[in-house]
Amino acid sequence: MSIIYSNIHIIKNLMARLQYTIDDKLKEKAELILMAQGLPPKVANTMFYIEIVKRRSLPFTPSKVPNEKTRKTFKDSDKGEGIIGGFDSPDKLFNSLEK
């Protein structure tokens, strides 16, 4: 019995718990699609991670990433436009963002 308990204990220590926030409507829509295919979200997430590791990249080409606003921000920052800077500490940066 102690061997089985010991193995279970080891397995528990090798498992990671993922916790993240996602839009409620997106989650509901995705889970309806997954469940219609008989695939629990936990299994789908595991499959996703397996594919990332196997391919060493995303298992799909992201659509509209970066989007137009992000591309414009990249171009502007390359030209030195719209850059917030000159902060001596993280506190000063965060304080400026709260204004």
pLDDT value of position 62: 77
Total-model pTM: 0.51
- What is the chain's pLDDT, residue by residue, as a tens digit (99 residues)? 434 444 445 455 677 888 888 889 999 999 999 999 999 999 999 999 999 999 999 898 877 767 888 888 888 888 888 777 777 888 887 888 776
Phi, psi dihedrals of residue 21, rounded to the nearest 5°: -105, 135
pLDDT value of position 68: 83
Q: Domain residue spans in the chain? A: 1-61, 64-99
Say if CB 87 and CB 96 are below 8 A apart.
yes
Tell me which CATH code domain 1-61 carries: 1.10.1220.10
Question: How open is the CA angle 13-49-6, to the nearest 5 degrees?
Answer: 15
Say if CB 13 and CB 19 are below 8 A apart.
no
Sign (positive or negative) of CA dihedral 34, 37, 42, 48: negative
Dist CA 19 CA 51 (whole Å)? 20
